[in-house]
Structure 1
């Protein structure tokens, strides 16, 4: 069965099965004081469905509500990082070398690790870049999708583990000096379980490096659904800095520090414009959408040609104004480093 036929069969069964029951309480603290933060369509792939994000007014945890079911996770991830999306996402990952070096440097100031596990490693580009800063470190990768196998084939990681982190933990227990989770925790259905699993996998004194979208980012408030950090429907949980620090401490970690990303590197302005522009353009020819005729394809190509100079200008402005936006607190993500005691 080809892709379009397979998507047609799935969509004919309706979207309700892609969602869990709606929660009446905060999944982080249990409070019943939750409020609507935003609603968003799938702005990247354009797959059908509307997604709701709520905020707990007590602990400030932000979460998708209702969350995706296992069937929904499979549907909305399909053809994003692999399949139809593999080439595009590979190009996106490959361009982030400066951010990768910064992550490696954070760890290098505290340790010279022998064994590093990158959870949610994607196509392995971070590990490939980090090895240049830490040539004596062996990098392994873990992920749900086929990207982790691609990373091993290209020599970006030594070993590839495919599956759920918690399920693989028994064979990985006590093996690693560093575990990293770069833009992984927000994809998890249970962030606290992921943190506890990292504790199990680390050796005593090992380091856990986390990078996540900051739900308290001003970009998120200003841009609403268009902020790339929300990234619906894939991002399920947004843990505040205070909540993450507390959770790590309760597990037995010592938090060594946290910092924000460089605003010029977060590309928040560019991301907003890209998502907004692509929403206005004629829809592309994708197997989960009605087939695109010749006229629609021509109109989309013409509109893209007009949009590219605007997006390029926005990227330049974002880079030039980077220092100013940092002063104003306009970042998109934060990083936190913790040590297993």
Structure 2
């Protein structure tokens, strides 16, 4: 499949199979950072200028509370590392429940916004002082990491034996992905270097020393991704069609489990060890 970078460059990239259930964007750009250099890249900004921005932040506010509730259903209080923390909204939310929070955010603009909120954000894992966490989260971040297998091995070392690794990623087997095809906004090439199916991510993480304990859908993502996908299509975007496609995606996923985006809850598997393949 050939997809276009609709956000920054207009360049075309190919999506190919990497392993069963995992796809990879090719070629890997030499300077990835320049593909994030856009005021429209919403996760690195607190902007609420457009309708799209307002919808994003409204949904995000609701989901921050839900994510915190999910985590506290496992562990009431502890230490948490958010990798790819953006401007720090998630950490600020869970911090209210007296969690010890730290974050890693490579993008300097987003990181500085988070630091201004009083958060302890670093640019990379090697700068962390705490080396033992109850929870490590990656909210729509894994797909951006070039060497994600190596990073997951590092997360395993940083996680307590009974800790949680929480990964949220788009699902390329969802209805909205198949409907919008190459215009599906969650391909987001070349920022999204990797693309995962449910079986693909489960199998990969079993090889990396983790067992899946739960999946939770991110139901609002189907609507938001469909809204962005409408803008990627040739011709004018259709707001009504976007919400209709988001609804159909969630409706079908009730039976199939193939939601637009899914949060995976992993625990260390003491019977397996890191095996990069």
TM-score calculated relative to the size of structure 2:
0.81
Is 1:79 the counterpart of 2:6? The answer is no
- Cα 1:130–1:94 change in 2 (3 A) is farther
Change over 3 Å in CA distance of 1:65–1:328 after alignment to 2? same
Counterpart position of 2:266: 338
**Displacement of 1:322:** 7.2
Residue 63 of structure 1 pairs with residue 24 of structure 2: yes
Residues 87-106 of structure 1: matches in 2 within 5 Å? 87-88=46-47, 91=53, 94-95=57-58, 96-106=60-70
Unaligned runs of 5+ in 2: 271-277
Q: What CA distance in whole angstroms lies between the structure 1 residues aligned with 2:40 and 2:104?
A: 14
Q: Which residue of 2 aligns with 1:42?
A: 5
Conserved 8 A contact 2:36-2:191:
yes
Q: Deviations over 1:270-317 (max 9, x none)?
A: 2221333xx658xxxxxxxxxxxxxxxxxxxxxxxxx7xx53x45654
Q: Given that residues 81 and 122 in structure 1 are in contact (C-alpha distance below 8 angstroms), is that contact kept between their aligned partners in structure 2?
A: no
Look up the match of 1:289: none
Q: Does 2:77 match 1:149?
A: no
Deviation per residue, 1:101-155 (Å, 9 max, x gap): 22222221111232111101111122223345xx121222111112122112123
Helix, strand or coil: the match of 2:187?
A: coil
| Secondary structure of the corresponding residue to residue 111 of structure 1 | coil
User: By how many angstroms is 1:333 displaced?
Assistant: 1.0
Q: What is the aligned partner in structure 1 of residue 188 from structure 2? A: 231
- 1:258-273 aligned within 5 A: 258-262=215-219, 266-273=223-230
* 1:185-211 deviation line (CA, Å, top 9, x unaligned): 000102211211111111221111100
Q: Identify if the C-alpha distance between structure 1 residues 314 and 125 changes in structure 2 by more than 3 Å, giving closer, same or farther.
A: farther
Residues 198 and 51 (structure 1 numbering): CA distance in 2 closer, same or farther, change over 3 Å?
same
Q: Deviation of residue 323 (structure 1)?
A: 5.7
Aligned partner of residue 148 in structure 1, secondary structure: helix
Q: For 1:253 and 1:140, locate their aligned partners in 2 and report how far apart those are by CA, in whole Å.
A: 22
CA offset at residue 236 of structure 1?
0.3
Work out the CA distance in 2 between the residues paired with 1:269 and 1:220: 9
Q: Which has the larger radius of gyration?
A: 1
**What is the aligned partner in structure 2 of residue 199 from structure 1?**
156
Judged with a 3 Å threshold, the aligned counterparts in structure 2 of structure 1 residues 48 and 120 are, in CA distance, closer, same or farther, namely: same
Residues 86, 259 of structure 1: alpha-carbon distance in 2 compared, 3 angstrom cutoff: closer
Does residue 120 of structure 1 match 2:84?
Answer: yes
Deviations 1:72-93 (A, max 9, x none): x02212235789x735489466
- Report if aligned partners of 1:264, 1:322 keep a CA contact under 8 Å in 2: no
Query: For 2:253 and 2:260, how far apart are their aligned partners in 1?
Result: 10
Residue of structure 1 aligned with 2:199, choices 238, 242, 247: 242
TM-score, normalising length from structure 1? Answer: 0.67
Distance 2:4 2:249 in 1: 29
C-alpha deviation, 1:264, in angstroms: 6.6
1:275 corresponding residue in structure 2: 232
Aligned length: 261
